[in-house]
Amino acid sequence: MISRMMANARRILLLSSSTVHGSGYLEYAAGHIKEFLQKSKVKTILFVPYALKDHNEYLNKVQGPLKQLGYAVEGIHEATNAIDAIKKAEAIYIGGGNTFLLLKTLYDLNLIEPIKERVLKDGIPYIGSSAGSNVATASINTTNDMPIVWPPTLTALALVPFNINPHYIDFDPDSKHKGETREERISQYHEIPGSPPVLGLREGAILQVEGDVAKILGTYGAKLFTVENQPQEFRVGEEVSFLLK
């Protein structure tokens, strides 16, 4: 459970994806990322590449765009001790890939609690994209990924008390595809008693959390699913702070 003191400290930026059609890696979110990190006077970002197999290649991909924004990027996999790297980090960025692989690795390396303490207690900025956004929430139950490995639990970092569905896609009435829609799958999840709200982040959507204030940023809005109510639309610039209570 997140205490009020911890809630006031947290600074979180959750991207639906790292790339949108027609732009480069993190390009659509660059302005939001820079503004977000400037508030904490960040100079170096600790990157967590565990959602993909080739950590060095992933780090190289991330370093270029963030260097253009004025930030040095260090890979946690290069550190002698991953927990110490978390304790010393000015900011944490967890990239996308496979959410199950990411969460399992975080548990295997005993990084869940250190990350939670730095973000919720110390207030260092946390940025996630796709899988990195999934693990910031209550659980990874609403990821789109295949369970290629199995973490000890689906409970995630719980930096926020709800779930996210990244890359959310609306039903296309002109499509000939007759499989389940994303909305139907989330509805099935909500058949489980006690399941939390799910915020569907469309491509280009960003959720920013500053203490107990949450707002939709980016280029596209979000769709909220709860057990009690019909799905609700939220446009860019609108608050969803009630989800934090």
Catalytic one of 16, 129, 145, 195: 145
Q: How far is CA 209 from CA 3, 171, 234, in A?
A: 15, 28, 15
From the list 16, 18, 129, 130, the catalytic residue is 130
Encoded tokens for 115: 């990350």
Cα–Cα distance for residue pair 114/140, rounded to 1 Å: 19
Where does residue 210 rank: exposed (0-12), middle (13-18), buried (19+ CB within 10 A)?
Answer: middle
Reported in sequence order, the residue ranges of 36-194 that DSSP labels E, i.e. its strands, are: 44-48, 72-75, 92-94, 126-129, 163-168
Catalytic residue list contains 167 = yes
Within 10 angstroms of residue 12's Cβ, the number of other Cβ atoms is: 22
Q: Which two tokens stand for residue 161?
A: 């008390």
User: What is the Cα–Cα distance from 100 to 150, expressed in whole angstroms?
Assistant: 6
DSSP 4-36: HHHHHH-EEEEES-S--TTS-TTTTTHHHHHHH
16 is catalytic: no
Residue 130 annotated in active site: yes
Tokens representing residue 196 in the block? 């939390």
* Active-site option among 32, 167, 187, 190: 167
Place of tokens 């003191």: 5
Active centre residues (catalytic): 130, 145, 167
